[in-house]
Amino acid sequence: MNLEFAAIHYRAIRDRVRATDPQIDEETLADTVEGLTNLHEIVQAIIRSALVDQALASGLKCRIADMQDRLERLEDRASKRRQIAKDVMVDLDLKKLTAPDFTASIRPGIPSLMVIDEDAVPKTYWEPGEPRLRRQVLAHDLKQGEEVAGAALSPPQPFLTVRTR
| Helix segments in 21-126, DSSP class H | 26-36, 39-91
Global pTM?
A: 0.51
The more confident residue out of 162 and 68 is 68
Rounded Cα distance, 102 and 125, in Å: 43
Number of Cβ atoms within 10 Å of the Cβ of 94: 13
Ramachandran region, residue 145 (left: φ > 0; alpha: ψ -120 to 50; beta: rest): left
What is the pLDDT averaged over residues 31-44?
A: 71
The more confident residue out of 109 and 77 is 77
The more confident residue out of 30 and 117 is 117
Specify the pLDDT at position 91. Answer: 93
Residues 6 or more apart from 137 whose CB is under 8 A from it?
A: 125
Do residues 105 and 96 touch, judged by C-beta distance below 8 A? yes
Rounded Cα distance, 37 and 55, in Å: 29
- Residues across the chain: 165
Domain ranges of the chain: 2-89, 96-163
